[in-house]
Structure 1
């Protein structure tokens, strides 16, 4: 067991070290692919708006949580325009500090800036309509991802949603030594969601991304 614990510790600490060196810019957040930000946000908005609104089974718009928020790219362009309050969580304090200026005037509607790895985060019970988890599940081990999703479920309001948007590999698990993360195939993601006791309400592949990057899928869970 010692090896696993040791491997797990360095898996997390190496990721912290990697992000500490990344510039707090949109391009830094997107690993040099800042140009895809618009396509990404527009795809996310179309996906999310299927669920939001008034009436039976619809998801409210009081409060959202941006997981692995970085400098707040998604908060600024996707979540603040749709929700009254948004909380940000990121493992890198420098990014959260930068978010305070990057978000501008609308940043006044940020509820909390939480500096934490998701493996340690316990989101406030019953607070969120939407928990948005994008490009960050690769930084969690399988067990930690399952546990985190279960904690997220407890943090949802009635009809709340957990949204995962992330890279998927064609087959199996592909490690990335550079930022100390992994990329899982869709079948593995599905099985971990199932282990967490969640169901997939809707799933889509993001279109119009550059051919050379991984496919990106968005899943709505409850």
Structure 2
């Protein structure tokens, strides 16, 4: 995963775009071999989970509540949800219901036990790659997309963000939280993903017709991990 910094070299997304099928198939095969645990979801960095969740909660609570430009707490979507680490610790405590989408069925099956009693408030478990996933129009107050955009080509990321925009309720929010490269695009051949720099990510967000309303860097992660930024989009 892009969590662990690797040697930086410049990379053309065109190379990925030319062979989308192999890019996605290799990633699916990678995740099928990963154990359905928190440590597996975080590439061996399970120890950072609480820091991550606490940072996300502080970020998200800036937007939740009643009134103009505030975001409701009815339903959230967890994208690239895995076994439900974010659903369990961030979204279910803040939202009435949650939907989960992930490309690996084994992870979603594990989620049903991992989430425990609160898992009853998960309405839908969608097994689907985000490049093919269509959020239900007007369903979600928050669409949370974390550590998964690197598995999408540029065009598919723009298209997916456009569909997410259509999936929002009035006042709704798309949140992208991910690693960012220092410059250019860095590939990870192990899990078939890429890590983009912030200028490119901002450009793709704009192409999707969304605006960045707030942006923060996640603090207190280990030094060897790429910087992680959280972007709130409307």
Of 76, 84, 89, which residue of structure 1 is paired with 2:88? 76
Q: Given the alignment of the two structures, is residue 117 of structure 1 paired with residue 166 of structure 2, yes or no?
A: no
Number of residues paired by the alignment? 220
Of 49, 57, 61, which residue of structure 2 is paired with 1:45? 57
Distance 1:219 1:127 in 2: 20
Of 167, 183, 189, which residue of structure 2 is paired with 1:177? 189
- Counterpart of 2:209? 197
* Structure 1 unmatched runs, 5+: none
* Structure 2 unmatched runs, 5+: 1-14
TM-score by length of 1: 0.98
**Per-residue deviation, 1:4:** 6.5
Distance 2:233 2:123 in 1: 23
Q: Which has the higher contact order (CA 8 A, sep 6+)?
A: 2
- Provide the alpha-carbon RMSD of the alignment: 1.0
TM-score by length of 2: 0.93
**Per-residue deviation, 1:6:** 6.0
Seen in structure 2, the aligned counterparts of structure 1 residues 15 and 171 have a Cα distance that, compared at 3 Å, is same
SS at match of 1:66: strand
Of 91, 109, 116, which residue of structure 2 is paired with 1:104? 116
- Counterpart of 1:30? 42
Q: Deviations over 1:87-125 (max 9, x none)?
A: 000000000000000000000000100000000000100
Distance 2:154 2:18 in 1: 16
**Per-residue deviation, 1:7:** 1.4
Q: Given the alignment of the two structures, is residue 10 of structure 1 paired with residue 17 of structure 2, yes or no?
A: no
